[in-house]
């Protein structure tokens, strides 16, 4: 299992690097985030970089992949994308996290992903209000 986890972690790191390149050009934080979610968390003056957001997720990639490994024990064909909407406080805590799109047949994996994401620490930044954004997570065996 360690080999599969290492491979999956490497895949996430490579994917994050590719997303970073794309994100610098075209990332729209609110793309696909439902209007009621955005309205629930008024934006303020805090600014965050997609590179910093990706780095936080990358640090926990092994934990996400352990959750995926657990889901694979139940269903060996599980895989796909889960897109999250997050609202961050200026001190870097996750105020809210919701699944906004999922190709995943496992609601259990979605629940595990939400619980883990709610524990992330994104670091404090100057400013007020919430920083709302979407973030895709891809789960696959290859």
Torsion of CA 71, 54, 21, 35, to 10 degrees: 90
- What are the backbone angles phi and psi of residue 124, rounded to the nearest 5°? -75, 145
- pLDDT for the residue 105: 81
- pLDDT for the residue 2: 52
- pLDDT for the residue 20: 43
Nearest-angstrom CA–CA distance, 110 and 107 = 5
Task: List per-block mean pLDDT (blocks of 10 residues) for the chain, which spans 142 residues.
Answer: 47 45 66 96 92 96 95 91 97 98 89 98 96 95 74
- pLDDT for the residue 122: 98
Q: Where are the alpha helices (DSSP H) in 41-106?
A: 50-59, 61-74
Q: At what angle do helices 61-74 and 107-118 cross, to 10 degrees?
A: 160
- pLDDT for the residue 114: 98
Nearest-angstrom CA–CA distance, 31 and 54 = 16
- pLDDT for the residue 64: 96
């Amino acid at each position: 299992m360690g080999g599969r986890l290492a491979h999956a972690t490497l895949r996430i790191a490579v994917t994050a690097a590719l997303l970073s390149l794309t994100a610098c050009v075209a990332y729209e934080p609110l793309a696909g985030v439902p209007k009621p979610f955005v309205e629930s968390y008024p934006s303020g003056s805090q600014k965050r970089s997609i590179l910093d957001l990706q780095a936080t997720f990358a640090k926990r990639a092994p934990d996400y992949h352990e959750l995926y490994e657990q889901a694979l024990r139940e269903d060996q064909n599980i895989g796909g994308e889960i897109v999250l909407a997050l609202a961050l406080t200026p001190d870097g805590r996750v105020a809210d996290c919701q699944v906004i799109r999922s190709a995943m047949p496992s609601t259990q994996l979605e629940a595990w992903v939400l619980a883990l994401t709610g524990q992330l620490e994104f670091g404090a930044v100057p400013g007020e209000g919430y920083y709302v954004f979407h973030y895709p997570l891809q789960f696959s065996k290859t």
